[in-house]
Chain A
Amino acid sequence: MSSESPGFFRQLPSALPGLVLIVITMMIIRIWIEPWMAHTKIFGMSKPLTDAFHLNYILLGIMSGMLYRNIIFGGKIPDMLVDGFRLSRLMIKTGIILLGSLYTFSAIIKLGFMAIALISAFVVLTVIMVLWLGKTFGLDRSMTAVLANALSICGVSAAVATSPAVEAKASHVAYAIATILGFGVLTMFISPTIGHELGLTNMQYGAWIGTGILNTGQVLAAALAFDPQVGPGTALAVAEVWNVMRVIAIPFAVFAVTLWYWAGKDAVDSMGNRQSLGSLLVEKFPVFVIGFMAMVFLTSMGTFGDVGVESGHSPSATIMSLRVTMQWIFGFGLVGLGGFIDIDELRQAGGAPFRLGLVVGATKYVAALLVVLLLKQYFV
């Protein structure tokens, strides 16, 4: 089907109206609303919006995207604007690749090992919990498999990657996705406040949400919402390493869960439907991660000048410009992402996948926080 679509460049003009709306929204937020929030007084409290609710351009961007879809446009993004909103993923992927300029190889290896350790431990615990609860709640094998990957690796991305391989029914997956998205939206908004109230450092907060929030997109948003700065050692820089590790894990997780699923079915039945790990890797490996690694490489080689971590010097002008660009790109991308949060879909979620998703999601979210608090000295 994909071959039937006209090329990207021919569709680009149709994306302009939506893109213009996104850009104008983010400019209004950053140029007028943010400075206003930083000085305003409401009910005698000074700056309550930033101090008590920790609102910043990231959360406001997502909220305005949600506002457009759910209230202003009555439940859908109009056809005229939808192509522009669909470009939001391209922007976020571009932002992620640029994020590679925050790390040197030594930094990413150190963070990467911590991420792998924490993620692996939680993947194992989550999968065991899902398998057990799946039986308790009477879910079928395909639904259990989808939920196992969605709740342990990275939410909707893992759910959609797994579903075809385990023959999940569309309506079942829909409810799983709605649950995961709903939980993700909730945690995206409450995590920054919890993080600030507990006085977490960027490192602790990044490790917590990188492990505890289900969707990678929402991890990114929650990290920026906690600390809107883009730089080495920020919540974003920490959480994104967790994100990248999780995305790389998708093909492996799909493979593992497919094995489990088909092991319980007739051998004859499984012929031709099972994919090898090699073909899954070729098919499902996220290529933008290669771009991200290339950026890390270029940064480590000093291509963009001083990163401003180890040397104690201030970062080079090129690095500073890259960071400002990233802030804007993420801002635009997250307005678009907010436009894909449909409250009606989330409100209608229910049934056994919902109960299981909520129990496991909440357990993982709280457990990740406890682990980070217990191992405080390692996350500084």
Chain B
Amino acid sequence: MSFGSIVVAVDGAMASQDALDHAVYLARLGPVYLAGIFVVDAKWADFIGNDWQSAKGARQGFLDYIRKEQEEQAELARLQFSLATQGMDRVVFSVHAGDPAEVLVAQSGSTDVLIASRRVFQVSGRPSLKSLASMLAKKASCPLMLFP
């Protein structure tokens, strides 16, 4: 099996380490582009949308607080990715924003293999991210490798 590009979801936590290691292993086998991606979850506003009697600095203050935590997590993910890919060229790390499941599904359209952990992004995510893997299995348009 030969392929030109791999996308791996990296979240800066232990959950994504096995998936990342395997992606690096595959990328080292041949001339392959490896892209690590982190998704800043933009669905929090919707998630707390049911709350309506907040005062100033309550809801938006919370969203900014969550955003900060996610940006820190993105930095950890960047670090995790650059450690795992030391000495490799043809690698890129990018941070996206949106619904993690949707972003990964969109990525699957422009890569040959998508690699992710079933628990990826749960470190700072909403409960429904537990079903991210099953959503990927349903909608990904490229071969998909899921790690526990």
- Residues on A facing B (Cβ under 8 Å): 1-2, 76-77, 82, 85-86, 88-89, 92-93, 96, 154-157, 160-161, 163-164, 169-171, 173-175, 177-178, 181, 184, 215-217, 243, 247, 250-251, 283-288, 333, 337, 339-342, 344-350
Q: Which of B50, B58, B60, B99 contacts A76 (CB 8 A)?
A: B99
Known contacts A169-B69, A171-B124; 7 additional CB pairs below 8 A are: A1-B67, A76-B99, A171-B122, A247-B53, A340-B46, A345-B47, A348-B128
Q: Which of A88, A170, A173 contacts B52 (CB 8 A)?
A: A88
A-B pairs, top 3 by smallest CB distance, nearest first, are A340-B49, A348-B127, A160-B62
Q: Which residues of B contact A251 (CB under 8 A)?
A: 55
The B18-71 residues at the A interface (CB cut-off 8 A) are 44, 46-67, 69-70
Interface size class of B (residues with CB under 8 A): 35 or more
Instruction: Report the Cα distance A341→B128, complex, angstroms.
Output: 12
- A345:B56 contact, CB within 8 angstroms: no
Judge if B126 is at the interface, Cβ distance under 8 Å: yes
Residue of B with least CB distance to A246: B53
Judge if B131 is at the interface, Cβ distance under 8 Å: yes
Q: Which of A171, A184, A342 contacts B46 (CB 8 A)?
A: A342
- B49:A250 contact, CB within 8 angstroms: no
Determine how close the nearest CB of chain A comes to the CB of B17; give it in whole angstroms: 18
- A170:B69 contact, CB within 8 angstroms: yes
Determine how close the nearest CB of chain B comes to the CB of A172; give it in whole angstroms: 10
- A215:B55 contact, CB within 8 angstroms: no
- B48:A348 contact, CB within 8 angstroms: no
- A89:B123 contact, CB within 8 angstroms: no
Determine how close the nearest CB of chain A comes to the CB of B102; give it in whole angstroms: 9
Determine how close the nearest CB of chain B comes to the CB of A324; give it in whole angstroms: 22
Contact with A along B107-130 (1 / 0, CB 8 A): 000000000000000111111101
- A160:B52 contact, CB within 8 angstroms: no
Residue of A with least CB distance to B64: A1
Determine how close the nearest CB of chain B comes to the CB of A163; give it in whole angstroms: 6
Determine how close the nearest CB of chain B comes to the CB of A178; give it in whole angstroms: 5
Main secondary structure of the interface of A (DSSP, over half): helix
Q: Which residues of A contact B67 (CB under 8 A)?
A: 1
Q: Which of A155, A163, A171, A285 contacts B51 (CB 8 A)?
A: A155
- B49:A86 contact, CB within 8 angstroms: yes
Residue of B with least CB distance to A217: B52
- B127:A337 contact, CB within 8 angstroms: no
Determine how close the nearest CB of chain B comes to the CB of A184; give it in whole angstroms: 8
Determine how close the nearest CB of chain A comes to the CB of B98; give it in whole angstroms: 11
- A287:B56 contact, CB within 8 angstroms: yes
Instruction: Report the Cα distance A147→B123, complex, angstroms.
Output: 19
- B56:A284 contact, CB within 8 angstroms: yes
Instruction: Report the Cα distance A216→B52, complex, angstroms.
Output: 8
Q: Which residues of A contact B58 (CB under 8 A)?
A: 157, 160-161, 250, 284
Q: Which residues of B contact A178 (CB under 8 A)?
A: 126-127
- The 29 listed contacts between A and B (C-beta, < 8 Å) are A1-B64, A2-B64, A92-B52, A96-B53, A157-B52, A160-B54, A160-B58, A161-B54, A161-B62, A163-B62, A163-B65, A164-B61, A170-B66, A170-B125, A174-B125, A178-B126, A216-B52, A243-B53, A247-B53, A284-B55, A285-B56, A286-B55, A287-B56, A288-B53, A340-B46, A342-B46, A342-B128, A344-B128, A344-B131
Q: Which residues of A contact B99 (CB under 8 A)?
A: 76
Residue of A with least CB distance to B127: A348
Given known A-B contacts A2-B60, A76-B99, A171-B125, A156 and B51 have beta carbons under 8 A apart: yes
- B46:A76 contact, CB within 8 angstroms: yes
Q: Which residues of A contact B69 (CB under 8 A)?
A: 169-170
Determine how close the nearest CB of chain B comes to the CB of A189; give it in whole angstroms: 14
Determine how close the nearest CB of chain A comes to the CB of B11; give it in whole angstroms: 11
- A156:B50 contact, CB within 8 angstroms: yes
Residue of A with least CB distance to B129: A348
Most B Cβ at <10 Å: residue of A243, A333, A340: A340
Q: Which residues of A contact B51 (CB under 8 A)?
A: 155-157, 160, 215, 217
Q: Which residues of B contact A340 (CB under 8 A)?
A: 46, 49-50
Residue of B with least CB distance to A338: B50
Q: Which residues of A contact B125 (CB under 8 A)?
A: 170-171, 174
Instruction: Report the Cα distance A317→B44, complex, angstroms.
Output: 43
Residue of A with least CB distance to B102: A76
Q: Which residues of B contact A175 (CB under 8 A)?
A: 127
Q: Which residues of B contact A174 (CB under 8 A)?
A: 47, 125-127
- B52:A283 contact, CB within 8 angstroms: no
Instruction: Report the Cα distance A285→B46, complex, angstroms.
Output: 23
Contact with A along B61-90 (1 / 0, CB 8 A): 111111101100000000000000000000
- A283:B64 contact, CB within 8 angstroms: no
